[in-house]
Every structure is written in structure tokens, then in C-alpha cells.
Amino acid sequence: MGWGSWIAVGDSFTEGLNDGDEDGGFRGWADRLAELMGERDPGFRYANLAVRGKMMDEIINEQVPLAIAANAELVTFCAGGNDLIVPGSDADELAARIEQAIVDMRAAGIDVLIFAGPDPKAMPMVRRVRAKVAIYNEHLHAIADRHGAMIVDLWAMHVLGDARAWSDDRLHFSPEGHRRIALRTAEVLGIPTDADWREPWPPQEHSASWLKLRKADLDWTRVHLVPWVKRQLRGESTGDGVTPKRPELLPLGDMSDCQKS
């Protein structure tokens, strides 16, 4: 099945952090997938409303109505990752909210694709909520089944267990991670590609010593974790003041300037 129009909604994952483009913005799996879809259909239209740091309710209230109003044929919807990290958040409640959004989009005749989150076992901070992510993912699979939505299971993508799939902040994917996710999403959508997301990673020559790993953890805590905690305490977000990089449903050739990092 082909789609002539697609709107991507979500947070930093869908915005494309940290897969930089030539203009100083972010490319990401969604832009990569849009390029594949555009190659097959010159009239294909694409919008990306995702903004880093957005919580689920913000995505549902601000982005989903725009996607429905635009009458897109396909919407990809990824939300909840930022919520799950927050202490006290409830995976069951988050799943109930995302289900209603999917029901609304399906009722509007939109094909919907959602994402089950990756296994956070190797990530220092996020692994503390691993069980909560697993519960949330199970809900997402059930929701997709109930409402005829498609799902990309990032947890099952074992290639994402390699550190090279992640950027230095250990929260966002690297360019290669985004490339493989775009290929996996294309596979779920039935879009032929010349590459395989399952391709093994090249062998690494040397493993880091315990001392280097310890220093890397300390550096990560100072550069990424501490600022994140401070923002949470102040009620701030990395998305404050950031606007969507592709707010309108347009052909790829009509792409506006990307949102700068």
C-alpha cells in the first residue's frame, strides 16, 4: 500500500535528534523515510510536527488535531518516552491516553503507525524505568491490534543494543541508529529498500578499559544528566521556543528551512 501524504508527530525521536543535516538542523529517521517515499511518488507530501521535549499530552493536544485537520493519509505517532522517565508516571494511564488519540485518528480514516520503545537496559538513567517501558510497550502492541494500527517494535531491534546506535547523550539515536530505524519502518510499511537494518555492526578493534568507561559515565552525568534534572525542577523543556521543522504538508521539493539546533 502506498501513501500520498504523511504527517509525523512526536518528540525528539521523530524530530531527529541527534542526526544532523547540512543546514545545522536535524534529519532523523522520519526525514530519511520521507526521502524513500518521495523517490517512489513525486507528488508525495510530508510534514513533521515533532518537537523535542514534548510530553504526551502536549503531542496529543497540539499535534494530533493538526494531523487530523490536514487529512493526512498516514500519521506516525510516537509519544510517552519523556513521560515514562518522570518519577511517578503510570504506564497504564499513559497507554489509555495514547489509545484515545489513536481511536480519534482511525475514526478520521487515517492509517496510523506507532512505535514500541527501545530496550533501555544499556542507558544509565533510563534503565531504571525499564520495567515501566516494557509494560507500556505491551499496551502499545495490544492497542495496535485492537484498532488496526501498525507498530514498529524498537525493543525487538537488537541492532539498537550496540552503543554506536546511540549518540553521546545516551538518550537519542546516532545517525546510523536513525538510518536503521528508517529502514525498519519502511519494512513495516511495505516500502522496498536496498539496505537491511539487520546488517551486523562492524567489529570494534578495542574495548574501553573500566577506567575509561567510568570517566565516560561521569562525563555523561555532568554534561547531560545534571542539566536534565535542573530543567525538570524548573519546569523547563529543551523544546521551549522550538517550532516544528516541517509544519505544513508539502512535497519534499518545497521543504522550508529546517529548525536549527
Tell me, rounded to whole angstroms, the distance of Cα 222 from its chain centroid. 25
pLDDT surpassing 90 at residue 224: no
- Using DSSP's 3-state secondary structure scheme, residue 114 falls into strand
**Helix axis angle, 28-40 to 175-189, nearest 10°:** 50
Chain-wide mean pLDDT for the chain?
A: 89
DSSP state of 252: G
Higher pLDDT, 192 or 23: 192
132: helix, coil or strand? Answer: helix
Tell me the C-alpha distance between 72 and 144, whole Å: 19
Contact 53, 237 (CB under 8 A): yes
**pLDDT for position 85:** 84
In the prediction, which pLDDT does 235 show? Answer: 73
**pTM above 0.85?**
yes
Q: Using one digit for the tens of pLDDT, what is the confidence trace for 115-174? A: 999 998 877 667 889 999 999 999 999 999 999 999 999 999 999 999 899 988 878 999
Q: Which domains does the chain have, with CATH numbers?
A: 5-197+241-254 (3.40.50.1110)
Question: Over 70: is that where the pLDDT of 208 sits?
Answer: no
Q: How far apart (Å, rounded) are the C-alpha atoms in residues 78 and 178?
A: 14
pLDDT of residue 256: 44
Residue indicated by cell numbers 523547563: 236
